[in-house]
Chain A
Amino acid sequence: GEDVEQSLFLSVREGDSSVINCTYTDSSSTYLYWYKQEPGAGLQLLTYIFSNMDMKQDQRLTVLLNKKDKHLSLRIADTQTGDSAIYFCAEMTTGGFKTIFGAGTRLFVKA
C-alpha cells in the first residue's frame, strides 16, 4: 500500500538552512506536497511539485524530487524562529482521490 515516511525531528540554528526529507512508495504519485502545521492549527500548503519535475523553488523554499529513489526534500533557506512547526510531506495517489500524509517532521529553530 501507499506509505510516506519522514524523520520526526530536526533542530537548526536561526539563519541556517533546514532540509527535511521524505520517502514515499507509490511510484505513480502525481503530486507531492509539503504542508506546515503550527500548534493547534490546521494545515497550510507550502508548496507542491508535479511528479515530472525534479526541482521547484519558491522564495526561501526549494523542493527536490528524486523520482527514481522516491525521495522528496524541502529546503528552507535562512530559517527563522517563525518557521518552527511541523512539516508534513504528502503524496496524491493515482486518480487524485486520496492524499497520503507522512507522520510529520517537527522543526525546532534555535535563536
Chain B
Amino acid sequence: GAVVSQHPSRVICKSGTSVKIECRSLDFQATTMFWYRQFPKQSLMLMATSNEGSKATYEQGVEKDKFLINHASLTLSTLTVTSAHPEDSSFYICSAKEAGDNEQFFGPGTRLTVL
C-alpha cells in the first residue's frame, strides 16, 4: 500500500524557535496533502489542506502566519511552526491522497514539545 513518512518523529524545541516538519509520499504522487493536529485523547483537528503548487487552505481559527505550509512538489509538503510556544506542543499528523482517489494515507505523526 501507499506509504507516507514524516520527519522528524519527535522534536523538542525552545520557546520562540521555529520547527519544520516534513511529510513525504514515498510511492505515489500526492496531489493533496492534509495537516492535522491531535491533542492527547482527542480527535484529529484538520489544520489545512494543500494542493501541489497552490497556497494552502487553512481551517477557521488556524493562523496561517504561524503554521506555514509549503507543498512545492508532488511528494513533499512541509509544515513550519514559527515562533513556537508551549501551547503549540501537540501531535502533528499529515495525510496525502492522489487525484481522484478517495483514500487518504496517513503519516506516523510528529510529536512536538515546546519547552
Residues of A within 8 A of B (CB): 30-31, 35, 40-45, 48, 88, 92, 96-104, 106
- B49:A44 contact, CB within 8 angstroms: no
B42 is an interface residue with CB less than 8 A from chain A:
yes
- A103:B103 contact, CB within 8 angstroms: no
- B43:A103 contact, CB within 8 angstroms: yes
Q: Which residue of A lies closest to B105 (CB)?
A: A45
CB-contacts of B93-108 with A (<8 A): 93, 95, 102-108
- A102:B43 contact, CB within 8 angstroms: yes
Q: Which residue of B lies closest to A41 (CB)?
A: B108
Q: How far apart are B33's CB and chain A's nearest CB, in angstroms?
A: 13
- B102:A96 contact, CB within 8 angstroms: yes
Residues of B within 8 A of A (CB): 4, 6, 34, 41-44, 46, 49, 93, 95, 102-109, 111
- A42:B109 contact, CB within 8 angstroms: yes
- Residue with the highest number of chain B CB atoms closer than 10 Å, among A42, A100, A102, A103: A42
Q: How far is the CA of A92 from the CA of B101 in the complex (A)?
A: 12
- B43:A104 contact, CB within 8 angstroms: yes
Q: How far is the CA of A110 from the CA of B105 in the complex (A)?
A: 30
Q: Find chain B residues with CB under 8 A from A103 CB.
A: 42-43
Q: How far apart are A101's CB and chain B's nearest CB, in angstroms?
A: 5
Q: Find chain B residues with CB under 8 A from A40 CB.
A: 109, 111
Q: How far is the CA of A100 from the CA of B36 in the complex (A)?
A: 11
